Structure 1
């Protein structure tokens, strides 16, 4: 798992120097990173970070308060969402237990995403939000982001896609009062072929949605919708299916150990591989190998 650079993300650095406990973190490349923290009985100051931070409270948070511009704000709880924009200043007093998800992203990444979404250069400003009820963000963090195994290459594309979805949601609903453009049609045949060749060549690695979108010279938003239009399912599900189909062939046609096969195809371990395999084919890899058929 890629480690974050403290110099790149001031909010991460300040938390790391506080009483907070880092549970997991990952760099998603191109100015985007994520982390899960827990904290209690602490005081944290953020002074002019050079990046934006989206925070979603997972557990606790009832006894946290924020001081900003002479105001003391309360109202934290599980499901609450905060957005701390680039350059903001805030003071946080944590008097009870809190567990939370953080997404860090720089303004270059946001500008790139904005330009690609609306197909023109457009200036946007992230809102400063504290203890907001945003059910869509809470649901995505809990139901998609948190169940993922962040150390698994097989789940990295899903996590990268979720990060893009969170940023796009903020752009759509908070940074601008403008609906995202509708997309019709799928990928051009030569683009589709190039993307699929890349996916087949990187089955054992963590492929980000952004990488595939760059190959197609499209925004991640446009690419994901056009990919589904062309192939019937989102990129991360298609990639998982490719891995499992290759795994099925290897299980039946080779004598490679299941442990080595799991690692070769980007699964975190043999147990994770076995679970995904059985969900897809109804039998475990060992059972499939013994029977030599599915």
Structure 2
């Protein structure tokens, strides 16, 4: 007698528990991140039931070496997972996984629509196929996973523009290197047209207090987030996220000259909902905490 695989939607809270026994240590479930879910897990020895995910799943192993068995497409594979090893598991592909010791990993789940919407909307998601990978070394995916984990550890709710920029880079990398669409993904160059660049910059400077989205900014330029991020950097020398931070710091400097405003109020006005995060980023950009900077004016 056979049973159908469990269907798991990782974007819905709680659906992971039939698959994993312990809740994630960190999760983006309550963050306003578009088209992606990120979790950081530490799990005991376990065997999952057969399951199929509605999202493409990327795992980045971060713990001590552990033996892992994976059943996919009716075949079993045995691997030793070491720190930095990456796995890529396509949506809708049933699999079973078991491991013999405590395991620690970052899991990134990408909505299949994200690959076309973030990377290039000319991609036909009904035609391309993600090529599964197990226990590969990919330094870029590892660094993106660690950066997103660090962002989850922040207490300020997470920077949406930063998370979506990382998602866009990850999605483009997977399409280019691990899918059947590799030959159709074209790069663009030359920077943004001046009128579109001015429109985006004006929007950023007018909405510093908002948790801005890469999708939102790309829509102003009427191109995909992936192409927008590349062209914006060619035009300004900065990524959209770096440019936004620079604008926020410059605005904060001006507001610090007004002694009637508290540092907490200034942080909120320039888009930081966590004062400690504001202090950390301000010091990184200027060499001073906001208080010391104010005292020097």
Task: Tell me whether 1:163 sits opposite 2:167 in the alignment.
Answer: yes
Residue segments in structure 2 that go unaligned for 5+ positions in a row? 1-7
TM-score (norm. length: structure 2):
0.85
Q: Distance in 2 between matches of 1:96 and 1:277?
A: 42
Pairing partner for 2:61 from 53, 57, 62: 57
**1:13 is paired with a residue of what secondary structure?**
coil
The whole-number CA distance in structure 1 between the counterparts of 2:150 and 2:33 is 21
Q: Equivalent residues in 2 for 1:136-151 (5 A)? A: 136-142=140-146, 144-148=147-151, 149-151=153-155
Whether the 8 Å CA contact 2:168–2:225 is kept in 1: the answer is yes
2:74 equivalent to 1:73: no
Structure 2 partner of 1:258: 263
Equivalent in the alignment of 1:222: 227
Alignment of 1:91-240 (within 5 A): 91-113=96-118, 115-116=120-121, 119=122, 121=124, 123-142=127-146, 144-148=147-151, 149-152=153-156, 155-175=159-179, 176-178=181-183, 180-240=185-245
User: Which residue in the other structure is 2:20 paired with?
Assistant: 18
* Structure-1 separation of matches of 2:86 and 2:250: 39
1:98, distance to aligned residue in structure 2 (A): 1.8
Could you tell me how far apart the structure 2 residues matched to 1:146 and 1:263 are?
24
Which residue, 33, 37, 44 being the options, matches 2:41?
A: 37
Q: Please give the secondary structure, in 2, of the residue aligned with 1:60.
A: coil
Three-state SS of the structure 2 residue aligned to 1:81 is strand
1:245 to 250, 254, 268: 250
Q: Is the 8 A contact 2:53 2:92 kept in 1?
A: yes
Q: Verify: 1:277 aligned to 2:279, yes or no.
A: no
* Counterpart in the other structure of 1:3: none
Q: Which moved more, 1:215-224 or 1:269-278?
A: 269-278
SS at 2:288's partner residue?
Answer: coil
CA distance in 1, matches of 2:92, 2:150: 32
Equivalents in 1 of 2:264, 2:23: separation in Å? 32
Q: Alpha carbons of 1:217 and 1:30: their partners in 2 closer, same or farther (altered >3 Å)?
A: same
How far apart in 1 are the matches of 2:242 and 2:119?
25
User: Residues 110, 177 of structure 1: CA spacing in aligned structure 2 closer, same or farther, 3 A cutoff?
Assistant: closer
Give the TM-score, by structure 1 length. Answer: 0.86
The change in CA–CA distance for 1:250 and 1:51 in structure 2 (over 3 A counts) is: same
Deviation string 1:163-195 (CA, Å, 9 cap, x unpaired) is 111111010011034274332222122211221
Q: CA RMSD in A?
A: 2.5
Contact 2:144 2:166 (8 Å CA) reproduced: yes
Number of residue pairs the alignment of both structures matches: 284
